[in-house]
Amino acid sequence: MKCEKVKILLDDFVDGLLPEAGAREVETHLGECKDCQDEFQSLQALLEKASHLPKAIEPPRDLWPEIETKINAQTNAQFGWKNLLWGRNAGASKPLDASEAIREQAPSKRWHMSPRLLIASMIVLLVGGYWLYLQSHRPSWGVENLAGSCKVGSDYIEKTGRLVVGEWLETDEISRAQINVGMIGKVEVEPNTRIRLLQARITDHRLDLAQGKLHATIWAPPRLFFVETAAALAIDLGCEYTLQVEDDGSGLLHVIAGYVALESHGRESIVPAGALCAMRPGIGPGTPYSEDATLALREALTKIDFENGGAEELDIVFRDSRFADTFTLWHLLVRVEPALRPQVYDRMTELIPPPVGVTREGVLRGDRKMLDKWAETFGLGYSWWKYWLPL
């Protein structure tokens, strides 16, 4: 038996979980190999120490008074409800000890429900029944547990479950889940994520990503799948992407295939495959950039987008931009101050000349058709999904 195999089996060996033949092989090897023998002794020493850890550690303070208070509060709350339900003296102010409360639970002398309470209870039952009916008919998407145990609503699911409109799905450090987005795609939910189903209509598949990370794969026409975040609305344009939202609401979109639009606060970013786009709450989406853009270019964009950066940062962008970064410059054309736009236009023309019909004057005044026409020449193919009308 080789050392690598022995080292793998060593845990089961010391725990007595190996079959007899396997244990004999490990024993033989340990007799011949000093390295493995050392490993074995180190493991045994650890387990020896662990077995001597104290079984009890006294709490640093007496916890009983708080436990007693909580128990009494619960007991009295239960008793109070019983008074209300069974028509006893609800105004008793003396707190009960647990034995009194438990005696109160004795099954005798209970049927004293007042007529008014009976009617009220029936109304509650009817309303509750109708509410349950509505709940059971709310649209939902299927959820599959991929690792650990994710929480849907108030329940943890083992294998599969349903995420109803309005419900949250939560994963912890070790759990992952997959949401089946109706008939149009799937969303893998990464650990430490909190996400809610907002709409499950045929024309509006919508999630709310409060925190964490998702990986969406959508095979539907554009503008049928949306993810709302604190910073921006992500609109699927037929694609695969990851979207991450931090505790402070800031986020990062990374498009793997196709295109995604980000919209918020009057800003719109079109993010193609192989590009990323940051976003901030209260500001909206930043300028998208290629995943192989230089660090200096990314930092300059962060300053322009979120920290009032200007000409100095723009120079860095011009210096580091290549043909593959044309879409970044195209976004900047309408984002930077009007006085800086001619410089952006000039740098863009160096990388890709504008097509016939697209003029300097028109671009600088923000002519939408001209901007879209220019975008089509470097593959942003903007207009067809812009005007796509879903079912």
Partner 1 sequence: MEGEQATAIPTFDLISRAQNGDQAAFEQLYRKYAGRVYAVCLRLSANTRHAEELTQEAFVRAWQMLATFRGESDFFSWLYRLTVNVVFTDMRSKRRRTSRVMTTDDLSVFDQKNSSGMDSATIDLEKAIAALPKQARAIFVLHDVEGYRHEEIAGMMKLSVGTSKSQLHRARRILREALEA
Q: Where on the chain is the footprint of partner 1 (CB under 8 A)? A: 11-12, 42-43, 46-47, 49-61, 63-64, 66-68, 70-71, 74, 97-103, 148-149, 151, 156, 158, 170, 172-174, 192, 194, 247
Query: Which are the contacts of 218, defined by CB distance < 8 A and separation ≥ 6?
Result: 181, 184, 185, 224, 225, 236, 238, 239, 240
CB of 98 to partner 1, least distance (A): 4
Nearer to partner 1, 63 or 134 (CB): 63
The residue (of 210 and 351) whose beta carbon lies closer to partner 1 is 210
**125/147 with CB nearer partner 1:** 147
CA distances from 109 to 87, 105, 112 (A): 11, 10, 8
Query: Quick one: how far is CA 180 from the chain centroid?
Result: 15
Task: Assess contact for 176 and 164: CB atoms under 8 A.
Answer: no
- 139 vs 153 by CB, closer to partner 1: 153
Min. distance of Cβ 86 from partner 1 in angstroms?
19
What is the smallest separation between the CB atom of 19 and partner 1, expressed in angstroms?
A: 15
Least separation, in Å, of the C-beta of 118 and partner 1? Answer: 29
Q: Smallest distance, Å, CB 45 to partner 1?
A: 8
Cβ-in-10-Å burial (0-12, 13-18, 19+) of 104 comes to middle
As measured in angstroms, the least distance from the Cβ of 52 to partner 1 is 7
Count CB atoms within 10 A of the CB of residue 242. 16
241 vs 262: CA distance, rounded Å: 12
| Minimum gap (Å) between residue 149 Cβ and partner 1 | 4
For the CB of residue 369, give the shortest distance to partner 1 in the complex, in Å. Answer: 47
Shortest Å, Cβ 207 to partner 1: 17
State the nearest-atom distance from the C-beta of 258 to partner 1, in Å.
Answer: 32
Q: By the 8 A CB rule, do 262 and 253 touch? A: yes
CA dist 147 and 163 (Å) reads 17
Nearer to partner 1, 72 or 199 (CB): 72
In terms of Cβ atoms closer than 10 Å to its own Cβ (0-12, 13-18, 19+), residue 228 is middle
Choose between 74 and 114: whose C-beta lies nearer to partner 1.
Answer: 74
Contacts of 316 (CB under 8 A, 6+ apart): 296, 297, 299, 300
What are the DSSP calls for 142-177, one per residue? EEEEEES--EETTEE-SSEEEEETT-EEE--SS-EE
CA distance 272 to 259: 4
Q: Which is nearer to partner 1, 67 or 132 (CB)?
A: 67
Nearer to partner 1, 86 or 168 (CB): 168
Rounded Cα distance between 240 and 216, Å, is: 6
- Give how far the C-alpha of residue 314 lies from the chain's centroid of Cα atoms, to the nearest Å: 33
Q: DSSP assignment of 336-365, as one string?
A: S-GGGHHHHHHHHHHHSPPPTT--HHHHHT
Of 170 and 240, which has the nearer Cβ to partner 1? 170
Q: How far apart are the first and last CA of the chain?
A: 65
- When the beta carbons of 100 and 376 are compared against partner 1, the nearer one is 100
Decide: 329 and 321 in contact? Cβ < 8 Å.
yes
